[in-house]
A and B are shown apart, each in its own frame.
Chain A
Amino acid sequence: MVDAQYTPAQILEWLSQVPDPEIPVLTITDLGIVRDVDCSAGVTVSLTPTYSGCPATEAIEASVAATLQEHGVDDVRIKRVLSPPWTTDWISEAGRKKLTVYGIAPPERRDRPIACPRCDSSNTEQVSEFGSTACKASYRCIDCLEPFEYFKCL
């Protein structure tokens, strides 16, 4: 039997449909956690965890394997790479826009104001540095009063 040949671009295209289980509006390619696709022997996908204890890591690995299998790729291997460590800088521009539309303020480098995802005002305040998941803080907009989550910079 002759194996079907896949290209990394094709695999990446399929992976760009896999949602993050905790923030389903983002795909794993938006998040920047797909570090490499190697099609030389079967298909090996290298993924990096976001936070050490992120409970979504296993779920993401399982959905990557399942998605590729649905597309007929039988020989899927998932490699977990820790280095270099993931940073929120790897979230794509498209991902940042999707986050805002979803109501989560995207990560900002220090000293830059956190804008309200609803009215875009920079007049916002932190309610709690810790939120519903390890990656988010709770904020509120002083102008439009919208409570919102902020994706913390890591």
Chain B
Amino acid sequence: MSSDETLVAYASRLGDNALILGQRMIELVAASPELEEELANANFSLDYIGQARMYYTYAGEREGAGRDEDDFAFLRPEHDYKNLLLVEQSNGHFGDSTVRQFLFESWYVLLLEALTRCSDEGISVIAARAIKEVRYHLRHSSQWLVRLGDGTEESHARVQVSLDDLWRFTGEMFAPDDLDDEMRAAFNGPHLEVIETQWRENVAAVLAEATLDMPDDQWMAIGGKQGQHSEHMGFLLAEMQHLQRAYPGATW
């Protein structure tokens, strides 16, 4: 892989995580349990979609083949998306969404911190912009996790099940593949094992406050980073891409 190819693949993968999670969160609009949550979800989703636009635009510039942010977002088939399986998981109930956000954001904030120090300026400046937003996303999901975990008997039991269910998607975040290795070797990219240690520490602290048990490491589902997705992904894309698929090139 040339250094340009590495950056295109890496930036578009970052874009995929942000876009797919942003799409999941926008599905929650008009379905939140209270108005504050409604506004928070819309705001966060907008942040993620904005980040995706920056990553995709940068990937398109590096690639130099004339693809723009919309080509990346709307005109690729499922296997070309390299997002983590975690972010595409369906919203489920409020506890499920909260746990998904918390597990991802705990990782993403550390990844972004490392990326602000990478040697590619295009990626490091986007990371510096994005981390300011993801810090308050994480604060929000952590607060909710504590409220649900240390809440009523019912909320505690249900959110523990959410945590146990989604835990199997966390392994993928720390398993470096060829692209992670290249990014690290060529551009001083993130060291995923170091991030894992820090992530476990941070997650354990919030779970303790939430009186939740950290699940045992069980079998981990992987494949998203290679474009092999779970059953939820196709439905998400079908809805998100519908307009561009039905009316190619449509603008407004």
Interface stretch (choices B48-56, B88-96, B101-109, B181-189): B48-56
**Chain A hits for B54, CB < 8 A:** 52, 82
**Chain A hits for B130, CB < 8 A:** 52
Closest residue on chain A to residue B58 by CB atoms = A82
Judge if A129 is at the interface, Cβ distance under 8 Å: yes
User: Please, how many angstroms separate the alpha-carbon atoms of A33 and B132 in the complex?
Assistant: 17
Contact residues of A: prevailing secondary structure = loop
| 1/0 contact string of A59-97 vs chain B (CB within 8 Å) | 000000000000000000000001111010000000000
Most central of A49, A82, A129 by chain B CB within 10 Å: A82
CB under 8 Å from chain B, chain A span 4-57: 49, 51-55
Contact residues of B: prevailing secondary structure = helix
**Chain B hits for A84, CB < 8 A:** 128
Closest residue on chain A to residue B128 by CB atoms = A85
**Chain B hits for A134, CB < 8 A:** 43, 46-47
Known contacts: A52-B129, A52-B130, A134-B46. The answer to whether A128 contacts B39 by CB under 8 A is: yes
Chain A interface category by residue count: 10 to 19
Judge if B78 is at the interface, Cβ distance under 8 Å: no
Most central of A53, A55, A131 by chain B CB within 10 Å: A53
Judge if B207 is at the interface, Cβ distance under 8 Å: no
Q: Do the beta carbons of B129 and A53 come within 8 Å of each other?
A: no
**Chain B hits for A82, CB < 8 A:** 54, 125-126, 128-129
Judge if A154 is at the interface, Cβ distance under 8 Å: yes
**Chain B hits for A54, CB < 8 A:** 46, 50
**Chain B hits for A129, CB < 8 A:** 36, 40, 140
Closest residue on chain A to residue B46 by CB atoms = A53
Contacts between the two chains (Cβ within 8 Å), count: 58
Judge if B4 is at the interface, Cβ distance under 8 Å: no
Q: Do the beta carbons of B39 and A51 come within 8 Å of each other?
A: no
Minimal beta-carbon separation of A51 from chain B (angstroms): 6
User: Please, how many angstroms separate the alpha-carbon atoms of A87 and B128 in the complex?
Assistant: 12
Q: Do the beta carbons of A53 and B50 come within 8 Å of each other?
A: yes
**Chain B hits for A49, CB < 8 A:** 50, 129
B125 in complex: contacting residue of A83, A130, A133, CB < 8 Å: A83
Known contacts: A83-B125, A130-B43, A154-B132. The answer to whether A51 contacts B50 by CB under 8 A is: yes
Q: Do the beta carbons of B47 and A52 come within 8 Å of each other?
A: yes
**Chain B hits for A130, CB < 8 A:** 36, 39-40, 43
CB under 8 Å from chain A, chain B span 97-143: 121, 124-126, 128-130, 132-133, 140
Listed by A's residue number, 15 A-B pairs whose Cβ atoms lie within 8 Å are: A49-B129, A52-B50, A52-B51, A52-B53, A52-B54, A52-B130, A52-B133, A53-B46, A82-B54, A82-B125, A82-B128, A83-B128, A128-B35, A128-B36, A154-B132
Binding site for B on A (CB under 8 A): 49, 51-55, 82-85, 87, 128-134, 154
Known interface pairs A52-B133, A82-B126, A82-B128; 14 further A-B residue pairs with C-beta atoms within 8 A, sorted by A's residue number: A51-B46, A52-B47, A52-B130, A53-B46, A53-B47, A53-B50, A55-B46, A82-B54, A83-B124, A83-B129, A128-B35, A129-B40, A130-B36, A134-B43
Give the 4 A-B CB pairs with smallest separation, nearest first: A53-B50, A52-B50, A53-B46, A130-B39
